[in-house]
Copies of this chain bind each other. A is one copy, B any other.
């Protein structure tokens, strides 16, 4: 079976926990689509428009918290994925993008539906792989298994994101009569043993001492999925006035203890002067409120950002500490040592309450 490495590709996907693929059909990608469709453990859906297909895969991967596979044919089909690929990259959502391609000798020979697909997503994928263009040598088959393993491992690794596998294919595109994709063939699947990022006792103590220096601590969670553990520690810190927690809608952490209406008052200078923090602690991705973002930038407070690894952005222009940790773990370890000035906490809470008193009647009477 000349297309067996494509069956292996699907086998590895399944062994690594992938269950969903979105296909945008075409002639060149037919053998890849067939391999996915025929695997009994794959749920394949067909969406012809590649731009939509990629955004739907993005949402599914976000929801399922595991990679979703995209398969399209050669030519500008691949480029129609690009807006969603960039979104997945910055949203840190895992996607396995498989694009069928002409074999290398046909690139730039003016053959139909031939563009320059290698590395087509530039700086908006975690990695881009070129699948072997034939499987005549056993090392090429090993290489195709390597690429598939590496792509899925990378997509799943913090920070998660899209990876691209470009698959050059020569005719014939279909199995011959009597040939079949063998999904039972043993393939080398690289397993994962995960480790946690844990702060040492010594480091924890240091951080606890440092935190005692701050009296106006603002915790500003960014965009993230709902997380019960985080909700618990965040509410504990807010309820006990250890810190003020300002929660954007997309942080999925709002509660009765947190500041949720900041967007309605943080822009007014006479108010915000009293609300300035002397330490900002953030985690998750970016926030949506432009007013809050500008307020935090203007405060010039030192800023600690917590994430297990990867590139640390400086959204508020005063990043002073890149903390390699799980946010929940960090806050549980040091939260007890936060002690904000009660006056500072009170100012935030009373402002929020005042706005709520005004907004409440307006919202309940508004015609939607």
Residue ranges of A at the interface with B (Cβ–Cβ < 8 Å)? 51, 75-76, 79-80, 82-83, 85-87, 89-90, 108-112, 114-116, 119-120, 122-124, 222, 285-286, 288, 290, 293, 311, 313-315
Which of B82, B83, B290, B313 touches A108 (beta carbons < 8 Å)?
Answer: B313
Q: A110-B286, A315-B110 are in contact. Are A87 and B76 (CB under 8 A)?
A: yes
CA A315 to CA B313, docked complex, whole Å: 47
CA A222 to CA B111, docked complex, whole Å: 12
Contact B79 A109 (CB under 8 A): no
Contact B314 A109 (CB under 8 A): yes
Q: Chain A at the B interface: mostly helix, strand, loop or mixed?
A: loop
CB distance from A164 to the nearest CB of B (A): 12
CA A109 to CA B305, docked complex, whole Å: 12
Measured CB to CB, the nearest residue on chain B to A319 is: B109
A sample of 5 more A-B contacts (CB under 8 A), given A79-B83, A79-B85, is A76-B83, A76-B87, A110-B315, A119-B122, A120-B122
CA A218 to CA B144, docked complex, whole Å: 43
Measured CB to CB, the nearest residue on chain B to A113 is: B90
Q: A122-B122, A124-B116 are in contact. Are A108 and B311 (CB under 8 A)?
A: yes
CA A51 to CA B115, docked complex, whole Å: 18
Contact A315 B109 (CB under 8 A): yes
Which of B222, B288, B313 touches A109 (beta carbons < 8 Å)?
Answer: B313
Can you identify 26 A-B contacts, CB atoms within 8 angstroms? A51-B80, A75-B86, A76-B83, A76-B86, A76-B87, A79-B83, A79-B86, A79-B124, A80-B82, A82-B82, A86-B115, A90-B115, A108-B311, A108-B313, A109-B314, A109-B315, A110-B285, A110-B286, A111-B293, A111-B315, A115-B124, A116-B122, A116-B123, A116-B124, A119-B122, A122-B122
Residues in B whose Cβ lies below 8 Å from that of A115: 86, 89-90, 124
CB distance from A55 to the nearest CB of B (A): 10
Contact A286 B112 (CB under 8 A): yes
Residues in B whose Cβ lies below 8 Å from that of A119: 122
CB distance from A221 to the nearest CB of B (A): 13
Interface core residue of A79, A90, A114, A123 (most chain B CB under 10 Å): A79
CB distance from A147 to the nearest CB of B (A): 21
Residues in B whose Cβ lies below 8 Å from that of A120: 122
Measured CB to CB, the nearest residue on chain B to A121 is: B122
CB distance from A57 to the nearest CB of B (A): 15
Interface core residue of A75, A80, A109 (most chain B CB under 10 Å): A109
Contact B80 A83 (CB under 8 A): yes
CB distance from A77 to the nearest CB of B (A): 8
Residues in B whose Cβ lies below 8 Å from that of A51: 51, 80
CA A273 to CA B167, docked complex, whole Å: 35
CB distance from A61 to the nearest CB of B (A): 17
Residues in B whose Cβ lies below 8 Å from that of A288: 112
